[in-house]
Amino acid sequence: MTILGKDLIGLAGLTREQITGILDVAEPLKEISERAIKKVPTLRGMTVVNLFFEASTRTRISFEFAEKRMSADTVNIAATTSSVSKGETLVDTARNLEAMRIDMVVIRHPNSGAARFLAERIESNVINAGDGTHEHPTQGLLDLLTLRDKLGAIEGKRICICGDVLHSRVARSNIWGLKALGAQVAVCGPRSLLPNAIREMGVEVFDRIEAAIEWADALNILRLQLERMQLGYIPSLREYNRVFGVTRARLEKAPRDLLILHPGPMNRGVEIDSDVADGPHSVILHQVTNGVAVRMAVLYLLAGNKASLADVAKGGPS
């Protein structure tokens, strides 16, 4: 069975078997990053372009580590230093890259649909590293892997996504991935930061963070994008923290131990208090570690299953 086709654009439309398949491939790849010599030859000779039209630290570096630990040759392109700043269109940029014979493009772009747009126009594999407010599938996968590590299974578990769901690609990828794996999914945030059609997406809505905490097995706390305040979606960061902030005092009232996830970067003291972020239930750094393994798995699967999985796990330094 082919787990992935040419591209990974989103988790919407992926089956439970596909998602489980990716996570199962990621599982043995975790170990590579724990070695003294963190390199396997799997993608040797392949050229991967990290095409980032938006600022990113964590995702770009995570992809770059994943590529390098698989021995791919990587080139990083940031929009501000490329011909994009001279007005070149996305499709021209991509076609020019492809004319230099590349194998894969990892794209981060401020516009929803940009990854798919690119995937439909070039032969190379395309991995969506976040497109506008659409999807961020590798973040969704690393969240799923983290939940699976900590909760055992995801089926039937209650996961609440908290905060600015309206503008969050992480939220969308999580919703589709979690639902495919049989989780119960809820969101919690001010109604002004939830899509109007959110219930039609098959999730529950909590207006109060206290109710979400009482219900959930895990909270995935989204970053509050600070520019939203200027656009009038919420009155102030102060009030946001007072009403929706995940604080230790609120967590202490939980009927069970809650896992705390956050895709980062955090606004400490806004959506999450420091003693929660750094507290015993936080799995935030575990997410970051899993990010590399998940991205290695996606790179490997898209590269076409050329080496068998066992070879990858066993592979020594190149």
Partner 1 sequence: MTKPLLLTGGRLVDPTQGLDAVGDLLLVDGKVASVGGRIEGPEGAQTMDCKGLVVSPGMIDVHVHLREPGREDVETVATGAHSAVAGGFTAVAAMPNTKPVTDNQATVGFVKRQGEAAGFARVYPYGAISLGQKGETLAEFGEMVAAGAVAVSDDGKPVENSHLMRTALEYAQTFGIPVVEHCEVMALAHGGSMHEGLVSARLGLKGIPGEAEEIDVMRCILLAKLTGGHIHLCHLSTKGSVDLVKWGKDQGVNVTAEVCSHHISLTDAEVEGYNTNAKMNPPLRTQADVEALQQGLKDGTIDLLVTDHAPHHYDEKEREFADAPNGIVGLETALGVNVTWLLEPGILTLSQLVDRMACLPAKVFHLPGGTLKKGSIADVTVFDPARSWTVDPAQFKSKGRNTPYGGRTLRGRALRTIVGGKIVYELDG
DSSP 3-state helix, strand, coil percentages of the chain (rounded to 5)?
A: 45, 15, 40
Output 109 or 262, the one with its CB closest to partner 1: 109
Q: Does the footprint of partner 1 cover residue 228 (CB under 8 A)? A: no
Q: Name the token pair of 157.
A: 């578990």
Residue nearer to partner 1 on the CB measure, 30 or 109: 109
Is the CB of 9 or the CB of 276 nearer to partner 1?
9
Binding to partner 1 in span 242-261, by CB under 8 A: none
List the one residue from 196, 230, 236, 308 that touches partner 1 (CB under 8 A): 196
**Least distance (Å) from partner 1 to the CB of residue 135?**
7
Please state, in angstroms and as integers, the Cα–Cα distance from residue 47 to each residue in 3, 71, 191, 291, following that order. 22, 10, 44, 20
Contact range with partner 1 by CB under 8 A, out of 192-200, 240-248, 257-265, 285-293: 192-200
* Residue with smaller CB distance to partner 1, 107 or 213: 107
Number of residues located near partner 1, criterion CB under 8 A: 24
Residue 76 CA from chain centroid, whole number: 19
Q: How far is the CB of 19 from partner 1 (least distance, A)?
A: 17
Round the CA-based radius of gyration of the chain to a whole number and report it: 19
Residue 248 near residue 273 (C-beta atoms within 8 A): yes
Closest approach of Cβ 42 to partner 1, in Å? 32
Residue nearer to partner 1 on the CB measure, 64 or 135: 135
Strands 125-131 and 47-52: unpaired
Length of the chain: 318
51: number of Cβ within 10 Å? 27
Q: Are 293 and 40 in contact (CB under 8 A)?
A: no
For position 200 contacting partner 1 by CB under 8 A, the verdict is: yes
Q: Tell which one of 40, 43, 46, 90 touches partner 1 (CB under 8 A).
A: 90
| CA separation for the pair 291, 309 (Å, rounded) | 19
Cα(254)–Cα(317) distance, rounded to whole angstroms? 47
Q: Which of residues 201 and 307 has its CB atom nearest to partner 1 in the complex?
A: 201
- Which position among 16, 56, 78, 132 is part of the footprint of partner 1 (CB under 8 A)? 132
CB 164 within 8 A of CB 187: no
Closest Cα partner for 43 from 94, 106, 117?
A: 106
Output the six-digit token pair for 202.
């098959």
Of these, 133, 138, 241, 267, which contacts partner 1 (CB under 8 A)?
133
Q: What character string, x for contact with partner 1 (CB under 8 A) and - otherwise, covers 149-188? A: --------------------x--x----------------
Q: Catalytic amino acids?
A: 58-59, 86, 108, 136
Residues 101-120 that bind partner 1 (CB under 8 A): 109, 111-114, 116-117
Which of 46, 70, 198, 258 forms a contact with partner 1 (CB under 8 A)?
198
> Do residues 288 and 65 lie in contact, with contact meaning Cβ atoms separated by under 8 Å?
no
Sheet holding 184-188, edge to edge: 204-206, 184-188, 158-162, 218-221, 259-261
**Contact residues for partner 1, defined by CB under 8 A:** 12, 89-91, 109, 111-114, 116-117, 131-135, 169, 172, 195-198, 200-201
